[in-house]
Structure 1
Amino acid sequence: MSRTPQNIPRTQQAARLSLRLAGPLTGVGLALILPGTAYADPGGAVYLAANSLPVVIANLQAWIMGILAAIATLFLVLAGVYWATAGGDPSQVEKAKLALRNALIGYGLAVLAPILLQVIQGIVGS
């Protein structure tokens, strides 16, 4: 039995057609998605925006508080997982308590970050 287009099942025909169209369609898609050529602005001076020290400290405060809160939340989730999967195992319960304590320390540091940065700002003198 020869394999003429009439003898090939429809699913195979559809697969072959999709393979034939995949390359050109991918090329067209990439051409539409990728940006065109960018040219530099030939004129005008470039000014660097340098923030004042209070602005830098405020930005630092926001970053520190966010990072500490994220790490504390991670430890809180780990404590919950350890506690839920302990199954009465004392070492797992102790591990959960340690993770919970670390989470509380992290949240405490996140709350105290503005005060610590105020102290640093006072020492630096701005």
Structure 2
Amino acid sequence: MVVVAEAASLVLLLSASTAQADTTTVLALAGSVTDVLNNVRNWIMGVLAGLATVFLSIGGVRYVMGGGDPGEIEKAKTAFKAAGIGYGLAALAPLVVTVLQGIVGA
């Protein structure tokens, strides 16, 4: 088993050393500023919605597992509020990008 792993590592190292980098390839190319801002908007919306979902889940678990403890119930409500704010900001992300487009002049 160890011999197979060592052989695979050797093959990977040898193939990596003979590979040549193609310096003419552009990996990230945006056609315009609008494309960049739309990508930023989509990224922001995804991150905010993901975080809001995590906070919503944490709040739900805290509420269910709180067992009537007022401190835990309050922490759950705080997590629910944070999730609501996150979803609200994710919904407003297109407006932010529109404002940025106005500032940049795109």
Per the shorter chain, which TM-score range? 0.7 to 0.9
The alignment status of 1:78 with 2:58, answered yes or no, reads yes
**Could you tell me the TM-score, scaled by structure 1's length?**
0.71
**Could you tell me the TM-score, scaled by structure 2's length?**
0.83
Larger helix share, 1 or 2: 2
- Aligned residue runs from structure 1 range 34-73, under 5 A: 34=12, 36=15, 37-41=18-22, 46=24, 50-51=29-30, 52-73=32-53
Q: Which residue in the other structure is 2:103 paired with?
A: 123
Q: With a CA cutoff of 8 Å and minimum separation of 6, indicate the structure with the bigger relative contact order.
A: 2
Runs of 4 or more above 3 Å deviation: 45-50
Structure with max Cα Rg:
1
**Aligned mate of 2:81, from 78, 94, 101:** 101
| Structure 2 portions without partners, runs of 5+ | none
Between the two proteins, the alignment pairs up a number of residues equal to 101
String of CA shifts for 1:85-120, please: whole Å, max 9, x gaps.
110000100000010010011001101100111011
Q: Identity, % of aligned pairs?
A: 46
Instruction: For 1:81 and 1:27, locate their aligned partners in 2 and report how far apart those are by CA, in whole Å.
Output: 46
